Amino acid sequence: MLFRSLILKSAALPPIKKFVKGSRLFRPIVKRFIAGETLAEAMKTAEGLADQGFLVSLDLLGENVATAEEAEQSTQNYLDVINQIGASPHKAAINISIKLTALGLDQGLDLAETNYRKLLEAAKPHNIFIRADMEGSPYTQVTIDLVRKVRADYPNTGTVLQSYLYRTDSDLDILMADKCRLRIVKGAYLEPESIAHPEKTTVDKQYVEHAKKLLTRGYYPAIASHDEHIINQLKEFAEQRGISRNGYEWQMLFGIRRDLQAKLHDEGYNVRVYLPFGDAWYPYFTRRLAERPANLLFITRSLIQK
């Protein structure tokens, strides 16, 4: 956890941000883990993955817009994404992840809800699922409340829970009772010890327990991890309980552990690749580095391996 705090605090410094975004040194790394800056580039990558039998979640990077006008533009950009997916022969394999702060949550709950519903309405005829990503803890309750509210009209949406938060046990029970589609992650934001487990070993243990609950009681859950030890634990758990490999999916980030993604796919599991794109890549990139020290190793190895 000290490593994560150091990375996130350092990344927030303007000189560090300027250096990383402007340095040629980081361009190959960014290119490896960001599927281009345009929708056309992202769709080309998404359809290539779908051709290989993978599922995809497109994520147009950008969060915490500053004005209502920016929120409207972000919403329009996502409508363009929906239209492109709807026209694709691979649309059944591609869904979308959004951040509610990109739709105007900081400018007002009503604005975010209006824009969220616009996207869900546009996605509905194409049967496109839209997942509201979980952001930092100030947004946890409002995200859960809004997802639960709109799901009454649009069941083609769900959200994400973060195992390092103390509250997740309760949130998990509530949302599973709603039959809400959930992705479980460990959590990548810098949170105080008053609301989040500070020890990595505790977070890992919590993550495994939450994933097991989802596997046994969830509605087509998404288990998001690159930790092969944890993945093997959960595979064994699911096999022992006769849980169908089609009853859930593994989710992994574009460019990280491609070998493990391919292995799971070859074993007959559903594997969805989380595919970020756009020019607002810096916050996403720094969170990925901060999640766990092993991600630095994944990045280094990925630069020299195909």
Q: Which residues are catalytic?
A: 133, 183
List phi, psi (to 5°) of 99: -115, 130
Q: Which residue carries 């720094």 as its tokens?
A: 286
Per this entry, what is the length of the chain?
306
The three-state secondary structure class of 113 is helix
